[in-house]
Structure 1
Amino acid sequence: MSQQIVIDSKDFAREGRVLEGSLDLTDFPRVADQLLAREGQLVYRLEGSVDAQRKPLLRLLVSGVLPLECQRCLERVDHELEVDSLLELINDEADLAEDDLEDDSRDFIVADKSLDVVALIEDEVILALPAVPQHEDCSLPEGGQGKAKVSPFSVLAALKKTP
């Protein structure tokens, strides 16, 4: 059963509150199809603050191990997940200037009086998933090793010999 943790994001940030805990991988239904198994937990810490310009910020730290499938050998590969996201709260996406959108060093989310923290964590986990999970050093499966390689043209050679 999925947990639900809801905060008022602006109040949380302005008051400098901290929320931490752990969540089971089963709490993330949108990540489920990427996982080889659903056992395990992710540890999170959400910190609220304001910057020098009094803009509300949320810093999200998430760590854990995700059991993924290696795309080379199709075996399990344990992916060490380390997320550290600094999110600036904005009132509306329309408030963002073109320069803000082009600045890759900052991330923005719309402030919400009922922000679903589990959904936020899941979003950040999805963004942190590797495009192609694989072991650091693995080889392709050894299908057909030891068998002599048969040329597809050997049939033509046999036809050429018959009168």
Structure 2
Amino acid sequence: MKRINDAFAFARDARVLQGTLAVSAMERLHDLLAEVSGEVSWHLEGFRGKRGEPLLRLTVSGCIPLACQRCLDAIDFALDVDRLLEVIPANADVSQDELEDDSRDFLPVEKELDVAELVEDEILLSLPVAPRHDGCGLPGASGAGERVNPFAALAGLKGKPN
């Protein structure tokens, strides 16, 4: 997999990298998947921002089979990651105001950048917390019949003296 030797030069020189990454190579995703198969496409472009700051735009697309949190069957989740990251030195002092600015995302790097790790990080950040099928019930609950309100008996006590 690609490594960028100098992320600051990559942005300054407006370089572009693109490729595919196998889902099987992204080990931190494995526990969230119904099956470890397929691949994702990524595109990384460097450029300078309005203030001259080094920026990277990462886009990732593809489909990964997430495990439904109710039935554990596969959910085909379409990835549509489009992230703009400001490259900063790993030891840079960032003010609290800058950290709270939702319009900026920082990517602290020494110099070298592992593209596969960055792609995997951004995929993990884009996933739903608890993926599940629309209308997916609890396992074994399909034949349970009509749902009974546990507080229905209290309605009969309403208005009666103690």
Scaled by the length of structure 2, the TM-score of the pair is 0.82
Q: Does the 8 A contact of 1:57 with 1:88 survive in 2?
A: yes
Deviations along 1:10-50, whole A, 9 cap, x unmatched?
11100101111111101101111111111101010001000
1:52 maps to 50
Give the 3-state SS of the residue equivalent to 1:95 in structure 2. coil
Number of residue pairs matched by the alignment? 144
CA distance in structure 2 between the partners assigned to 1:146 and 1:91 by the alignment: 58
2:2 maps to 5
1:101 equivalent in alignment to 2:115: no
1:139 maps to 137
| CA drift at 1:84 | 0.8
| CA drift at 1:93 | 4.6
| CA drift at 1:75 | 1.6
CA distance in structure 2 between the partners assigned to 1:143 and 1:51 by the alignment: 54
1:21 maps to 19
Question: After the TM superposition, which of the residue ranges 6-15 and 128-137 deviates more from structure 2?
Answer: 128-137
1:62 maps to 60
1:36 equivalent in alignment to 2:34: yes
Instruction: Report % sequence identity.
Output: 47
- Runs (4+) of structure 1 exceeding 6 A deviation are none
Counterpart residue identity of residue 20, structure 2: S
2:153 maps to none
Give the 3-state SS of the residue equivalent to 1:31 in structure 2. helix
Counterpart residue identity of residue 83, structure 2: S
Counterpart residue identity of residue 96, structure 2: E
CA distance in structure 1 between the partners assigned to 2:144 and 2:135 by the alignment: 23
CA distance in structure 2 between the partners assigned to 1:21 and 1:71 by the alignment: 31
Say which of 109, 112, 123 aligns to 1:111.
Answer: 109
Scaled by the length of structure 1, the TM-score of the pair is 0.81
Q: Does the 8 A contact of 1:13 with 1:58 survive in 2?
A: yes
CA distance in structure 1 between the partners assigned to 2:144 and 2:114 by the alignment: 55
CA distance in structure 2 between the partners assigned to 1:146 and 1:124 by the alignment: 40
Counterpart residue identity of residue 72, structure 2: L
CA distance in structure 1 between the partners assigned to 2:92 and 2:47 by the alignment: 23
Rg: which structure is higher?
1
